[in-house]
Amino acid sequence: MSKARPIVMRHNQCILLLLTFAAVVFLLISFRPALLDDADATHAEAAKEMIERNDWVTLHVNGVRYLEKAPLLYWAVALSFKVFGYNTFAVRFPVVLAIILLGALAWIFGRWAFSEKAGGYAAATMVSCTGMFLFTRIMIPEVLLTLWFTLAHYCFLRGFFGEGKEKRWYYGLYVAIALAVLTKGLIGIVFVAGPIGLFLLLTGTLLSEMRHLRLPTGMLLFLAIASPWHILAGIRNDRFFWFYFMNEHVLRFLGKREPKDYNRVPFVFYWLMHLIWLFPWSVGIPLIGLQLPGIGRNQDRGRLINLYLWLWAGLILIFFNISTSQEYYTFPVYAPLALLIGAAFATAEERPGAEKYLTAAQGAIAAVALAAGGLLGWLVWKSRNVIPTGDLSDLLDMAPADSEQYTLSLGHFFDLTTGAFAELRIPAMGAALTLSIGFTLAWIFRRRRAHMAASVMMLMSMGFMFIWANLALQKFEPVLSSRALAETIEQNWEPGSKIVFNGEYETGSSIGFYTNRQILLLNGRVTGMAFGATYTDAPPVFLENADLKKLWEGENRVFLFSEEGKLDRALKLLDGSPATRLAERGGKIVLTNRP
């Protein structure tokens, strides 16, 4: 009787399962929470108005020209709106698609550069690192930009190491750069041309490779893709070129952009937080020292690829270290670091000394996860006597709305109190069990040298952590979004009604999106609206102090939206006129001038 053969999963089956798992997870978390105030709903509104105005060149928000952004993500979301309608899922879908494509490309890149195993680790790192979840919860172009950068660098290396017809890969480089420029402007050139130039110089191949780079035809291809939108935007919007290129690129880099609404991430925080953004795969960062770079044309292929990845990652990190930056600006560095980490994991599994480190590091992660899981369980137990109210903000210790704390992606984490876990019981207990069980099993598998099983367990654990985190975000929805207030306004709407924001549009941008009504802005000629307001065709949405009382005492119903900390200033402007508190959620209030 013949022995049963063990089931062996091929690498292409592994990557298919990995990407399917990632697609399912990210699609599941794309329906809720609602669009967030600030950039998220503001950018979604720009995509929506693109359709409503049938203007695919000039972005508008609240009817005001919005010229600071490149258009590709907005085009993608607008097309998604046409398919799925105006809803949260439609905003998230292009980002989810970009995540899956990026994971697939990381696998292809890593497999070609190093090995099948390295490619698998690189893909797992990309789709399941903490930063991938955190910075795809809002409508920003970083994941799409990273996709184009990764494609550009892959095409360059394929062309560089190729012979004959393989040099045609360079054309893919020019296409990817053009798409990157249409996604986020000139850094689409800088973060590709910079590593390429340094690499060619350090390998002594600058002159010899220049004749293969297809520069004349490549530049024509680049211009054919990237220039039409820029030319049309310049024709239709005077002063566009100064504002878009000088103010939004050069002056932003120098920290002199107007209006000044960006901060610099503290130096130590900037570097160390990448350990969290790449968690749990950041455990492999100490191992990337195994991926030694090589300088000079006679180095072997592996070391030259390592050199290229180090240059790619280093340029991004150094650039934003000296520029104005937000935490997510360095998102594109995840790709080269994921490739280095993937190669390091694959190498470590074959080296006894490095394998011991990997097992020890996996044990350290398990210990931290057990401690975190225990802490979450204890906090849930401590809140057992607190009765949930349905509004998490009632149980938070919130800082003032303009606090610099909220410029950080995890800023609201510091608002949590013990009682808040009464609202967070399900996601907290789910996270506690996932951390305690998942990462402990990963450590056990790693000890037994079942490396694939350990990696699968880490991937699955992070997938479930994303689901629990998304459930927690849904509890934070009253704080982060104003959709509930938008629904209240709609329920009380009368013909001729007006909505007034006390301050800038971004403070309640989800109201604009979900009501689909134009917003009047009290002293709101600031931040994203400032430049667009200078055009003569700007709609009359900007109110001065004296305008509010006149509007409030008029014939039509007025809804005044305000953050609680700014309400007193608006009430003084009403000078005793009757004001009814219509709704209050998450530290935000809607008043009306009619009972």
CATH of the domain at 525: 3.90.190
Q: Both 313 and 446 in a single domain? A: no
Question: 3-class DSSP state for residue 273?
Answer: coil
pLDDT value of position 321 = 82
Q: Both 469 and 488 in a single domain? A: no
Share of the chain above pLDDT 70, in %: 92
The whole-number average pLDDT for the span 329-333 is 92
Q: Both 466 and 511 in a single domain? A: no
The whole-number average pLDDT for the span 413-420 is 68
Q: Is 290 part of a structural domain of the chain?
A: yes
What pTM did the predictor assign? 0.93
Which has the minimum average pLDDT: 94-98, 307-311, 388-392, 518-522?
388-392
Q: Is 361 part of a structural domain of the chain?
A: no
Question: 3-class DSSP state for residue 265?
Answer: coil
Q: Both 310 and 388 in a single domain? A: no
Count of beta carbons in the 10 Å neighbourhood of residue 565: 14
- One-letter amino acid identity for 329? Y
Q: Both 427 and 501 in a single domain? A: no
Q: Both 410 and 502 in a single domain? A: no
Q: Both 111 and 87 in a single domain? A: yes
Q: Is 232 part of a structural domain of the chain?
A: yes
CB 556 within 8 A of CB 497: yes
Largest alpha-carbon pair distance within the chain? 95
pLDDT at 390 over 70: no
Quote the CA–CA distance of 150 and 333 in Å, as a whole number: 10
State how many domains the chain has: 3
pLDDT at 1 over 50: no
pLDDT value of position 4 = 42
pLDDT value of position 16 = 86
Q: Is 43 part of a structural domain of the chain?
A: no
Question: 3-class DSSP state for residue 377?
Answer: helix
Share of the chain above pLDDT 90, in %: 71
pLDDT value of position 438 = 94
Question: pLDDT per residue over 151-210, tens digit each?
Answer: 999 999 999 999 989 999 999 999 999 999 999 999 999 999 999 999 999 999 998 899
Q: Both 394 and 312 in a single domain? A: no
Residue 293: cis peptide before it, omega within 30 degrees of 0: no
pLDDT value of position 397 = 56
Torsion of CA 563, 568, 574, 575, to 10 degrees: 180
pLDDT band at 409 (very low <50, low <70, confident <90, very high): low
The whole-number average pLDDT for the span 277-296 is 89
pLDDT band at 533 (very low <50, low <70, confident <90, very high): very high
Closest CA to 535 of 260, 242, 239: 239
Q: Both 117 and 239 in a single domain? A: yes
Closest CA to 201 of 269, 117, 274, 296: 296
Q: Which domain holds residue 179?
A: 11-37+68-348
Segments in 85-168 forming alpha helices (H)? 88-113, 116-128, 130-134, 142-161
pLDDT at 5 over 60: no
Identify the domain boundary among 300, 332, 348. 348
Answer with the residue of higher pLDDT: 212 or 586.
212
Q: Is 3 part of a structural domain of the chain?
A: no
pLDDT value of position 385 = 80
Residues 6+ apart with CB under 8 A from 192: 149, 152, 153, 156, 173, 176, 177, 180
Complete DSSP assignment for 539-579: -S-EE-HHHHHHHHTSSS-EEEEEEGGGHHHHHHHHTT---
pLDDT value of position 327 = 82
pLDDT at 271 over 60: yes
pLDDT band at 561 (very low <50, low <70, confident <90, very high): very high
pLDDT band at 527 (very low <50, low <70, confident <90, very high): confident
Question: 3-class DSSP state for residue 288?
Answer: helix
Q: Both 90 and 227 in a single domain? A: yes
φ and ψ at residue 318, rounded to 5 degrees = -70, -40
pLDDT at 330 over 80: yes
Mean pLDDT of the chain: 89
Q: Both 116 and 141 in a single domain? A: yes
Q: Is 360 part of a structural domain of the chain?
A: no
Q: Is 298 part of a structural domain of the chain?
A: yes
Both tokens assigned to 85:
């309608």
The whole-number average pLDDT for the span 347-358 is 86
Q: Which residues pair with 501 in a beta bridge?
A: 521, 561
Q: Both 522 and 463 in a single domain? A: no
Identify the domain boundary among 454, 478, 502. 478
Q: Which residues pair with 592 in a beta bridge?
A: 559, 580
Identify the domain boundary among 304, 332, 348. 348
Q: Is 498 part of a structural domain of the chain?
A: yes
Count of beta carbons in the 10 Å neighbourhood of residue 456: 20
Complete DSSP assignment for 53-104: HT-SSS-EETTEE--SS-SHHHHHHHHHHHHH-SSHHHHHHHHHHHHHHHHH
